[in-house]
């Protein structure tokens, strides 16, 4: 039986990386670019609020599934060995249930945006959930992350305009390259010879 006390809630907070908001911002920026470009200015408030909440929910779900995927490797990395899942303070099944619950909640909040956005949220969730596992076999997982993080751009255009014009796909492609750049730099942090 789970006991929800202050320590347990703190472990959830750490598992979801809510203490490190840069990840939320890195996912939020392309989302906001897409919304503002699609609306040619301020997007409708309800669309903006749904996308902002979706970013927080999906980034948090992504962190939980990422820690699950990396649980055996994180034990051997100084920066990650004390994370809640790796250290055993949160169980594997618990982390997966939390990730699934957050992803389902993210899907539910898209319901007011209509079927085209709901249908686009399915590949978006697949990309977010599968990215951590691509790090083991895909030679350039940063590109996969760029696709996952940038998928909010075509989703934003569908939510606001009902379609995805060519310039939205160009912004999406630019975001993939941007993500490759910053995530490659981030990956170098864990190199053994890095001081």
Q: Is residue 68 part of a domain?
A: yes
Count CB neighbours of 26 within 10 A: 18
Range of the domain at 112: 9-187
Residue 106 lies inside a defined structural domain of this protein: yes
Query: Could you give the CA distance from residue 112 to residue 6 in angstroms, rounded to a whole number?
Result: 34
Q: pLDDT tens for residues 105-123? A: 999 999 999 999 999 999 9
Residue 3 lies in a domain: no
Residue 136 falls inside a structural domain: yes
Helix (H, G, I), strand (E, B) or coil at 122: helix
Q: Is the distance from CB of 142 to CB of 187 less than 8 angstroms?
A: yes
What CATH number did the domain enclosing 171 receive? 1.10.357.140
Q: Looking at the domain assignment, is residue 133 inside a domain?
A: yes
As a whole number of angstroms, the distance between CA 186 and CA 75 comes to: 19
- The number of folded domains in the chain is 1
In a domain, 193, yes or no: no
For the stretch 6-36, pLDDT in tens is 988 999 999 999 999 999 999 999 999 999 9
pTM of the model: 0.90
Q: How far apart are CA 128 and CA 130, in angstroms?
A: 6
User: For residue 194, is it within any domain?
Assistant: no
């Amino acid at each position: 039986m789970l006991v929800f006390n202050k320590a347990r809630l703190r472990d959830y907070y750490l598992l979801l990386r809510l203490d490190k908001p840069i990840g939320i911002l890195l996912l939020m920026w392309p989302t906001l670019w897409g919304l503002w470009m699609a609306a040619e200015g301020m997007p409708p408030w309800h669309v903006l609020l749904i996308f902002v909440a979706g970013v927080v929910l999906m980034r948090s779900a992504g962190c939980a599934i990422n820690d699950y995927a990396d649980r055996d490797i994180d034990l051997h990395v100084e920066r990650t060995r004390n994370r809640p899942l790796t250290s055993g303070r949160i169980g594997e099944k618990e982390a997966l249930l939390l990730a699934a619950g957050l992803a389902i909640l993210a899907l539910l909040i898209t319901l007011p945006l209509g079927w085209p956005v709901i249908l686009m949220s399915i590949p978006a969730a697949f990309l977010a959930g599968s990215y951590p596992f691509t790090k083991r076999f895909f030679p350039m997982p940063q590109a996969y992350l760029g696709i996952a993080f940038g998928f909010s751009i075509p989703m934003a255009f569908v939510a606001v305009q009902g379609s995805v014009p060519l310039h939205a796909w160009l912004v999406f492609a630019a975001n993939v390259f941007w993500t490759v750049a910053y995530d490659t730099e981030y990956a170098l942090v864990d190199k053994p010879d890095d001081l």
